[in-house]
Chain A
Amino acid sequence: MKKYFFLLLTLTAISLGHAQNPTCACFIRGIVKDQHSGQPVVGATVLLIGKNTGVFTDDKGRYEIRNLCPGTYQLEARIVGYSAYKQTIDLTAGHEENFNLQEQEVHLKDVEITAHRTDAPSSQPLTILSGNDLEQTRGQALGESLKGITGVTAMQTGSSISKPVIHGLHSNRVLIMNNGVRQEGQQWGSEHAPEIDPFVATRMSVIKGAAGVRYGSDAIGGVILVEPEELPFNKTLSGEVNLVGFSNGRQGVASSTLQGGVKGFSGFAWRAQGTIKRGGNIRTSNYFLDNTGISEKNFSVGAGYRKKGFGIDLFYSRFDTKIGIFSGSHIGSVTDLLNVIKNGEPFVKSGFSYKIGRPNQNVTHDLLKAETHYHFKDGNRLQWTIAQQINNRNEYDLHVPRNDSIASLNHPELTFKLHTLTNDVIWDHKPIAGKISGQIGVSTLYQYNLMTGRPLIPNFNQFNIGIFWIERYVKNDWEFEAGARYDYRTLNTHRIVSRKKVSNDFTFSNGSGTIGATRNFSPNLSARLNAGTAWRAPNVSELFSDGVHHGAAAFEKGDSTLHSEKALNTIASVKYASEKLTIEIGGYYNYIKDFIYLKPQPDPILTVRGAFPYFKYTQTDASFKGIDVSAAWQFVKNLTITSKLSYLRAYDKRNDSYLVMIPANRLDNQLKYELPELGKWHNLYFSAGNLWVTHQKRVPPASDFLPPPAAYSLWNIQAGGTIHVSEKQQLEVRISVTNLFNTVYRDYMNRFRYYADDIGRNASLRIKWKFGA
């Protein structure tokens, strides 16, 4: 499991002026060091946020960014294996003349950087959502927030349930690391969204491609890292309040954080955070969707202690949501479904309401984590993380039981209780000859599931142990990485068949490997290549499903003889970053052996609700290949155009056919105008953009009730800025409108596309008040 490696880095920022150019000849330079070892950090990226300027640190950890105009800049240091660090640097401060005319030190500051390691494989593309990009998504669900990342889309059930999709893979094929702990909910369900409050995180990162060695099973399509900021050790009280309002659903979100140290107890820090969200019926372009409200109450508390090389962190979070499911999506039979498709819009009409009735989901997720680490004097480091998660999911059907006395109890028709205990011990060995670093880890997972209500999945106990070893070798402009892992898993299931308990035992084992290289050709140009494997054992729903999936009007049957699926992913990317232009091009080929999917069967299954199309969990060999391109070009001063292309082709190799539920290709363009300063405002921006999603033509023939929807194009606008209220207080304001022209559209990856249009115009206002340090 992921761990925190709290490291202090020292960054010195010096800004100097040159005489040649009176306006834009400032530069920032400094050194990036690993404070624990005191060694310079080679190959770290130092970026000016929003300027598309970035450089790498040289072999002595030094960097220099030239030709800067006076102004306020946000400097970010990113180091592979560490989290990004940000610092605002004021290059104006009334010194314009001075530093424009002569070489003079106008800004010198020692900045303590506290970063935690992400442990992402260095040769795999890692996309980080933080800063303004993250702030612009505040108030949205996790899956929605990540949609702006190239290669990442979302699988939706209406507008309130959203699951991240990386390179066409989702659910049990995408692993989410929540604050260093693998998120264990009922991930197998397509309408089971990740139980995470995005406000906990100050950055979300996506590792694309198989990363099974470091993260264990399920990391087939990629890994999402949800990370809070490092606790504020040795800092004073600070905090923030976020208020978000959405016009669609008349949704309001309030979230606040308070954090600080404790006087007289140095080395101690704490943080408390909470979020409340409430929304009503969502409106498509032309009509409301009945019962699509949401209510969410989340909080988290954390505390930590540091002394010399020793550190301990405790964290507890609770996620509590109640989500209404569009009542028009309940269908009893295939006839019902065909009727609503024919009608073109839902039969159930509704106005606006905040009421959440049946059908609905009530989900709570508790996470308790303790992590401790110790840096040995010789450079070795040991870390131990334990975490317990309790996922409690209650699903209420549209209809209460006919029997009044049972109905009055208002019990959920489905209840899942999943308890998970994870344990990770990781040893980072001391660097060998200053060139080789590595880590060895043991991860265990113990899990049990209790299910009541309508039989859907069995109760089970699961135990997993994984051992991994990764080494990294850095020489000059090259960085090599190789690793291996072995996992062993037992699964015991218990279910009722014909009123008798039937137990089954399974064991799975798997070896994974990764090998990769990074080459920095110049401070502007770098390339990465990685080949990695990952695996996933069939989950209980794939083994034991046996019934009608009412959302999909399909009879789904599991197969208890399924074996593990294994992915071999090759991913290559080239990145060019200069002051005015940033381009990143990545290509991937993910070959998944024994890919588990629902295969249509020739004969339907007869039930009392009529005949349903019959699907059986089957294995095939599948390939997912695609290209991600992102480019940002500042073609005129302050004006930047950003383009992101996600292109994917998935194929069923064994049956020479396409696969279902593969996201359509998409192109996202944004034009952004930035004003560093205007009156009281700082970092002002205005942007307009378009998202174009193509028609998914590549689907297996006759596999669906409705062909994939047509291509669509959505426009959006944003604006925002910061006001410095006082030295220690600032106010950030952002407004945006998505689906500006209230376009009618349906998305192939939205499971409600059979019943209703997708969400209509949505205007939002985000206010963030930051105070303290």
Chain B
Amino acid sequence: MKMNRKLTWMLLFGIATLFTQCKDSGDEVEVDDENELITSVTLKFTESGTNTVTSFSYKDPDGDGGNAPTKFDTISLKANTSYTLAVEFLDESKTPVDNITEEIAEKSDEHLLVYTPNPTSLLTYTYGDKDKNNYPIGLTGTAKAGVAGTGKLKVQLRHQPNAKNGTPGPGSDDVNLDFNLKVK
């Protein structure tokens, strides 16, 4: 029985050790940022030959879930007019605001922007930039508004690490937004 008692004490000691490891999980809640988060997408249309910039945005400051997107503009363009189109991606959930556009530009060989108007007669997009492998990027380009009408402009940011080949196929969507498009 002496042995038993010793072992029992050992067990008790063991439990005491175990309990000292318990902690309050509430003390360790940290604000952790999603590295891939994009909360704001802004399309900046500059009418050719002018300095007139019109911007259209999608904004969801708290990211997916939580509150609904606060802004999702309808793109409004003049018929038969040419624009320089620049796109800006921000993560506004962070302080300071994280400029994702710069990060995309740095990793331009992994990203491709795809602009798909529907119907196609509304707009024609021409890429204005190229990555080191001579594939288009789409951070800047020319958008030529076509005939008057309404429809959609799908803006996709394709993330294509080690797979970019100039086509939208490889990779997955980081952004996939259907802006309403009005050409008048």
Contacts from A to B (Cβ < 8 Å): 305, 307, 310, 312, 330-333, 335-336, 347, 370, 372, 374, 384, 386, 388, 397-399, 401-404, 406, 413, 419, 421, 423, 446, 448-450, 452-455, 458-461, 492, 494-499, 501, 503, 546-548, 555, 557, 605-610
Closest to A496 in B: B31
A-B pairs with lowest CB-CB distance, top 4:
A332-B173, A401-B35, A332-B172, A610-B176
Whether A608 contacts B64 in the complex (CB less than 8 A), given A332-B172, A459-B25, comes out as yes
On whether the beta carbons of B35 and A461 are closer than 8 Å, the reply is no
B49 within 8 Å of A (CB atoms): no
On whether the beta carbons of A547 and B64 are closer than 8 Å, the reply is yes
Closest to A556 in B: B65
On whether the beta carbons of A305 and B7 are closer than 8 Å, the reply is yes
A-B contact pairs, 5 of them (CB 8 A): A419-B21, A421-B19, A448-B22, A458-B29, A499-B31
Q: How many residues belonging to B are interface residues under a CB distance threshold of 8 Å?
A: 53
On whether the beta carbons of A450 and B25 are closer than 8 Å, the reply is yes
On whether the beta carbons of B32 and A448 are closer than 8 Å, the reply is no
Q: Binary interface profile of B, 142-156, with partner A (CB < 8 Å = 1, else 0)?
A: 000000000000001
User: With A and B bound together, what is the CA distance between A374 and B7 in angstroms?
Assistant: 12
Whether A546 contacts B65 in the complex (CB less than 8 A), given A397-B36, A402-B107, A609-B174, comes out as yes
Q: Binary interface profile of B, 1-29, with partner A (CB < 8 Å = 1, else 0)?
A: 00110011001001100110111111011
Taking the closest CB of chain B, its distance from the CB of A60, in whole angstroms, is 35
CB contacts (< 8 Å) of B173 on chain A: these are: 331-333, 335-336, 609-610
Whether A372 contacts B8 in the complex (CB less than 8 A), given A330-B172, A448-B22, A606-B68, comes out as yes
On whether the beta carbons of B26 and A386 are closer than 8 Å, the reply is no
On whether the beta carbons of A495 and B29 are closer than 8 Å, the reply is yes
Whether A312 contacts B66 in the complex (CB less than 8 A), given A332-B173, A403-B35, comes out as no
Stretch of B74-82, B98-106, B124-132 that contacts chain A: B98-106
The interface residues of chain A, by DSSP majority, are classed as strand
Whether A453 contacts B32 in the complex (CB less than 8 A), given A402-B100, A606-B69, comes out as yes
User: With A and B bound together, what is the CA distance between A519 and B100 in angstroms?
Assistant: 71
Sample of 12 further A-B pairs with CB below 8 A, known A448-B22, A606-B68: A312-B11, A331-B172, A332-B174, A402-B107, A449-B25, A450-B25, A455-B32, A458-B29, A494-B29, A498-B66, A499-B31, A610-B176
Taking the closest CB of chain B, its distance from the CB of A493, in whole angstroms, is 8
CB contacts (< 8 Å) of B34 on chain A: these are: 454-455
User: With A and B bound together, what is the CA distance between A388 and B21 in angstroms?
Assistant: 10
On whether the beta carbons of A413 and B172 are closer than 8 Å, the reply is no
User: With A and B bound together, what is the CA distance between A557 and B65 in angstroms?
Assistant: 8
CB contacts (< 8 Å) of B30 on chain A: these are: 452, 496
Closest to A458 in B: B29
Taking the closest CB of chain B, its distance from the CB of A394, in whole angstroms, is 14
On whether the beta carbons of B66 and A421 are closer than 8 Å, the reply is no
Whether A401 contacts B29 in the complex (CB less than 8 A), given A606-B68, A606-B72, comes out as no
B41 within 8 Å of A (CB atoms): yes
CB contacts (< 8 Å) of B119 on chain A: these are: none
Closest to B170 in A: A347
Whether A461 contacts B25 in the complex (CB less than 8 A), given A347-B170, A386-B14, comes out as yes
CB contacts (< 8 Å) of B170 on chain A: these are: 347
Q: B4 is contacted by which of A310, A452, A606 (Cβ under 8 Å)?
A: A310
Closest to B169 in A: A347
CB contacts (< 8 Å) of A331 on chain B: these are: 172-173
Q: B35 is contacted by which of A413, A450, A608 (Cβ under 8 Å)?
A: A413
The interface centre, meaning the residue of A330, A446, A548, A607 with most chain B CB atoms within 10 A of its CB, is: A607
On whether the beta carbons of B60 and A608 are closer than 8 Å, the reply is yes
User: With A and B bound together, what is the CA distance between A402 and B175 in angstroms?
Assistant: 14
On whether the beta carbons of B65 and A459 are closer than 8 Å, the reply is no
On whether the beta carbons of B68 and A498 are closer than 8 Å, the reply is no
Whether A398 contacts B65 in the complex (CB less than 8 A), given A459-B29, A495-B29, comes out as no
Taking the closest CB of chain B, its distance from the CB of A435, in whole angstroms, is 31
CB contacts (< 8 Å) of B23 on chain A: these are: 448
CB contacts (< 8 Å) of A307 on chain B: these are: 3-4
User: With A and B bound together, what is the CA distance between A421 and B21 in angstroms?
Assistant: 10
User: With A and B bound together, what is the CA distance between A606 and B148 in angstroms?
Assistant: 27
Whether A398 contacts B172 in the complex (CB less than 8 A), given A312-B7, A448-B24, comes out as yes
Taking the closest CB of chain B, its distance from the CB of A548, in whole angstroms, is 5
Q: A386 is contacted by which of B11, B39, B106 (Cβ under 8 Å)?
A: B11
Whether A336 contacts B172 in the complex (CB less than 8 A), given A452-B30, A496-B29, comes out as yes
Q: Binary interface profile of B, 61-97, with partner A (CB < 8 Å = 1, else 0)?
A: 0111110110010000000000000000000000000
On whether the beta carbons of A448 and B7 are closer than 8 Å, the reply is no
Closest to B17 in A: A388
Closest to A611 in B: B178
Whether A501 contacts B29 in the complex (CB less than 8 A), given A372-B8, A398-B172, A547-B65, comes out as yes
CB contacts (< 8 Å) of B161 on chain A: these are: 399
CB contacts (< 8 Å) of A459 on chain B: these are: 25-26, 28-29
Taking the closest CB of chain B, its distance from the CB of A305, in whole angstroms, is 7
CB contacts (< 8 Å) of A607 on chain B: these are: 60, 64, 69
CB contacts (< 8 Å) of B169 on chain A: these are: 347
The interface centre, meaning the residue of A454, A496, A546 with most chain B CB atoms within 10 A of its CB, is: A454
On whether the beta carbons of A452 and B72 are closer than 8 Å, the reply is no
On whether the beta carbons of B36 and A608 are closer than 8 Å, the reply is no
User: With A and B bound together, what is the CA distance between A404 and B18 in angstroms?
Assistant: 40
User: With A and B bound together, what is the CA distance between A499 and B31 in angstroms?
Assistant: 6
CB contacts (< 8 Å) of B24 on chain A: these are: 448, 461
User: With A and B bound together, what is the CA distance between A421 and B106 in angstroms?
Assistant: 48
User: With A and B bound together, what is the CA distance between A608 and B62 in angstroms?
Assistant: 11
CB contacts (< 8 Å) of B63 on chain A: these are: 608
Taking the closest CB of chain A, its distance from the CB of B2, in whole angstroms, is 11
User: With A and B bound together, what is the CA distance between A557 and B66 in angstroms?
Assistant: 10
On whether the beta carbons of A333 and B176 are closer than 8 Å, the reply is yes
B183 within 8 Å of A (CB atoms): no
On whether the beta carbons of B66 and A497 are closer than 8 Å, the reply is yes
B164 within 8 Å of A (CB atoms): no
On whether the beta carbons of A548 and B4 are closer than 8 Å, the reply is no
On whether the beta carbons of B18 and A609 are closer than 8 Å, the reply is no
CB contacts (< 8 Å) of A557 on chain B: these are: 65
On whether the beta carbons of B32 and A421 are closer than 8 Å, the reply is no
On whether the beta carbons of B18 and A386 are closer than 8 Å, the reply is yes
Whether A501 contacts B104 in the complex (CB less than 8 A), given A310-B4, A419-B21, comes out as no
CB contacts (< 8 Å) of B177 on chain A: these are: 608, 610
CB contacts (< 8 Å) of A460 on chain B: these are: 25
Whether A421 contacts B26 in the complex (CB less than 8 A), given A498-B66, A546-B65, A610-B173, comes out as no
CB contacts (< 8 Å) of B14 on chain A: these are: 370, 386
B115 within 8 Å of A (CB atoms): no
Taking the closest CB of chain B, its distance from the CB of A416, in whole angstroms, is 11
Taking the closest CB of chain A, its distance from the CB of B87, in whole angstroms, is 13
User: With A and B bound together, what is the CA distance between A335 and B156 in angstroms?
Assistant: 10
CB contacts (< 8 Å) of B36 on chain A: these are: 397, 399, 401-402
B38 within 8 Å of A (CB atoms): yes
User: With A and B bound together, what is the CA distance between A332 and B38 in angstroms?
Assistant: 13
CB contacts (< 8 Å) of A446 on chain B: these are: 22
On whether the beta carbons of A374 and B4 are closer than 8 Å, the reply is yes
